[in-house]
Amino acid sequence: MGMTMTQKILAHHAGLESVSAGQLIEANVDLTLANDITGPVAIREMEKAGFKTVFDNTKIALVMDHFVPNKDIKSAEQCLECREFSKKHQIVNFFDVGEMGIEHALLPEKGLVAAGELIIGADSHTCTYGALGAFSTGVGSTDLAAGMATGKAWFKVPSAIKFELKGKLQPDVSGKDVILHIIGKIGVDGALYRSMEFAGEGVAALSMDDRFTICNMAIEAGAKNGIFPVDEKTMKYMNGRVNRTLNIASADADAAYDETYVIDLNTLRPTIACPHLPENTKTIDELERIEINQSVIGSCTNGRIEDMRVAAAILKDRHVAKGVRTIVIPATQSIYLQCIEEGLAKIFIQAGAVLSTPTCGPCLGGYMGILAHGEKTVATTNRNFVGRMGHVTSEIYLASPAVAAASAVAGYICAPEAL
Amino acid sequence: MNAKGKVFKYGDNVDTDVIIPARYLNIADPKELSAHAMEDIDTEFVNKVQPGDVIVATKNFGCGSSREHAPLVIKENGVSCVIASSFARIFYRNAINIGLPILECEAAANGIDAGDEVAVDFDTGVIQNITKGETYQAAAFPPFIQSIIKAGGLLKSLKERGE
């Protein structure tokens, strides 16, 4: 029996000819990632266990992105711990304020993750790099400590669900709508312990930024990873960023899948996940009128340049509705700079939005857009759990950048076509 | 290894944001952090929980973020075991890696109610509901995972192997 794309990457990194679903393996990792929240826990665990050295100082990424520029003394102390560790172990890929970006936008941009590679990160959205045809998955701080010390991680080889994409997205419909539609269909544990493998002729029409968004939210369906086949667009994206020899994987023709879903991209509508689970989806046509207090455009899910361009195109020559606090957060310094160079920054500010330095801030209720009791936000982020962005009675509606921008203008959740 | 205690019962999809809200993740001290365990779903949890108590929930317990702080604050509060119909995968790994016993058992998750007294035998996977006089059988861990638990967590097991 053939292997899925994920299984091939796992087999290769475990030094095995083949693997099958359910098998426990130990695999070599190409990169480990931690941030200012999970990094300090991993560092302490590693030191407590008596590991004195890291396995490879070029294969460890530490990105200060969650609570930076530091929101308070405690978060400053956490960054200090990461900074000192990086200095001591000469960690090459330590990204501090001024160089940092939101980790899952930053690592692909810097060419630190690539097709066929195996990446573990102490952040659940590490699954984002599947867009490049990599196997990447979130782990906890102890797993990460073990990875930093030994360069290895254990895995149970997952089975997979195949998503056969066909057709092409309509205007104002994006990767975010694709993944919200899928999560609405299969549920927040619909892919639990399994891979989500995307395939079919519809892949070619999806931009890299769409693919990053789709893989980013694989975890919201409980998946171990999401992964796209490598095509011309992937190679073009990696060109100039990645200079390593690649072992590109593809699924065998006779690979087994637990289930196959056919997704017709033509028929998808702007999709919203209502409180308090990403699976509570409605199309914009089914959604009642929801007045909002805030609109957040950014995060590891939707803070890339395409997202910024889409939002700016809608906000151009318009103004956000009175009472809608609109927060735009480009995910990396280079995206931020692009926003300035392309004139998007001016559009955002003239429209009455604020433009923030890269940070995860509001997405996880850290800072930079916290909600008071009973307030409602539309957000291009990835989770709408109880209390995620502030008070336990506040509500988060997850949507695409197009919907978040249009809603900011209208004052209620709507698609651009309603403006 | 055994556990015995009173049950705190929750439903589907208990996420890591309600187990330990991210607004507290700037706190490094496990004791201070654990005072906020389950705060957004059950404000009484930290006041009522006794050493040995058991958390029982239905499907997808621990979904959401990879924060190891989640199993950690549960363990810090003296919870001896979490039983659920299913666990989100990162929470599952994290619990094993830090030595918080967890068991997947649909029958137990459905049969046990809040306040029931239960006893768990980790070697056999047998869960006894003392209050109701019922017994449920959880699947045993594969030997590889048992070796991690026996060593007292992932890093200790790696050290034992001489990594």
- Whether residues A60 and A207 share a domain: the answer is yes
Residue-range definition of the domain harbouring residue A108: 5-264
| β-sheet bridge partners, residue A297 | A328
- Whether residues A138 and A69 share a domain: the answer is yes
Contacts of residue A21, Cβ cutoff 8 Å, sequence gap at least 6: A7, A157, A158, A159, A256
Which of A70, A77, A141, A370 has the most B C-beta neighbours within 10 Å, making it the best mutation to test the interface with B?
A141
Q: Looking at the predicted structure, is the pLDDT value of residue A323 above 90? A: yes
Q: Looking at the predicted structure, is the pLDDT value of residue A82 above 80? A: yes
Give percent of chain B with pLDDT exceeding 70. 99
Q: Is A55 on the interface with B (CB under 8 A)?
A: no
Which of A142, A150, A154, A301 has the most B C-beta neighbours within 10 Å, making it the best mutation to test the interface with B?
A142
Residue from A155, A300, A304, A131 nearest A226 by CA: A131
Determine the Cα–Cα distance for residues A292 and A265; give it in Å rounded to an integer: 28
Predicted pLDDT of residue B143: 82
Beta-carbon separation of B26 and A74 below 8 A: yes
> Where among A241, A264, A287 does a domain terminate?
A264
- Whether residues A112 and A96 share a domain: the answer is yes
> Where among A214, A236, A264 does a domain terminate?
A264
Question: Residue B163 — pLDDT band, cuts 50, 70, 90?
Answer: low
For residue range A288-313, list pLDDT tens digits in order: 999 999 999 999 999 999 999 999 99
At residue A296, the 3 state secondary structure works out as: strand
- Whether residues A234 and A281 share a domain: the answer is no
Side-chain-facing half-sphere of A98: CA atoms under 13 Å? 1
- CATH number of the domain that A168 lies in? 3.30.499.10
Q: Please tell me chain B's helix, strand, coil percentages from 3-state DSSP, rounded to the nearest 5.
A: 35, 20, 45
Q: Is A45 on the interface with B (CB under 8 A)?
A: yes
Which of B15, B29, B63 has the most A C-beta neighbours within 10 Å, making it the best mutation to test the interface with A?
B63
| Strand A376-379 with A395-398, pairing | parallel
- Whether residues A29 and A95 share a domain: the answer is yes
Residue A184 and residue A190 in contact, taking contact as beta carbons nearer than 8 Å: no
- Whether residues A377 and A413 share a domain: the answer is yes
Q: Tokens representing A336?
A: 């931020």
B144, B153, B159 member nearest A24 (Cβ) = B144
- Whether residues A184 and A313 share a domain: the answer is no
Predicted pLDDT of residue B1: 67
Q: Is A264 on the interface with B (CB under 8 A)?
A: no
Provide the chain A residues 58-77 that lie in CB contact (below 8 A) with chain B: 66-67, 71-72, 74-75, 77
Determine the Cα–Cα distance for residues A176 and A403; give it in Å rounded to an integer: 10
What is the DSSP annotation of B72-126?
A: HHHHHTT--EEEES-B-HHHHHHHHHHT--EEE-HHHHHH--TT-EEEEETTTTE
Residue from A30, A31, A101, A144 nearest A300 by CA: A101
Residue A144 and residue A103 in contact, taking contact as beta carbons nearer than 8 Å: no
| β-sheet bridge partners, residue A263 | A165
Q: Closest approach of chain A CAs to the CA of B128, in angstroms?
A: 27
- Phi, psi for residue A361 in degrees, rounded to 5: 0, -85
Residue A11 and residue A99 in contact, taking contact as beta carbons nearer than 8 Å: no
Mean pLDDT of A316-339: 98
Q: Tokens representing A386?
A: 């109880």
* Averaged pLDDT score across all residues of chain B: 93
Q: Closest approach of chain B CAs to the CA of A58, in angstroms?
A: 20
Determine the Cα–Cα distance for residues B123 and B143; give it in Å rounded to an integer: 11
Mean pLDDT of A391-400: 98
Determine the Cα–Cα distance for residues A187 and A265; give it in Å rounded to an integer: 19
- Whether residues A298 and A245 share a domain: the answer is no
Q: Tokens representing A406?
A: 């249009």
At residue A199, the 3 state secondary structure works out as: strand
Mean pLDDT of B15-19: 96
Mean pLDDT of A212-241: 98
Name the one residue in this structure whose structure tokens are 């796992």. Answer: A10
Q: Tokens representing B161?
A: 């192997």
Q: Looking at the predicted structure, is the pLDDT value of residue A136 above 80? A: yes
- Whether residues A202 and A115 share a domain: the answer is yes
Domain count, chain A: 2
> Where among A209, A233, A264 does a domain terminate?
A264
Q: Which amino acid is at A286?
A: E
For residue range A227-285, list pLDDT tens digits in order: 999 999 999 999 999 999 999 999 999 999 999 999 999 999 999 999 999 999 999 99
Q: For residue B156, list chain A residues with Cβ-Cβ distance below 8 A.
A: 49
Q: Closest approach of chain A CAs to the CA of B77, in angstroms?
A: 18
- Whether residues A31 and A91 share a domain: the answer is yes
Residue A176 and residue B1 in contact, taking contact as beta carbons nearer than 8 Å: no
- Whether residues A153 and A297 share a domain: the answer is no
Within its chain, how far is the Cα of A69 from the centroid?
20
- Whether residues A176 and A300 share a domain: the answer is no
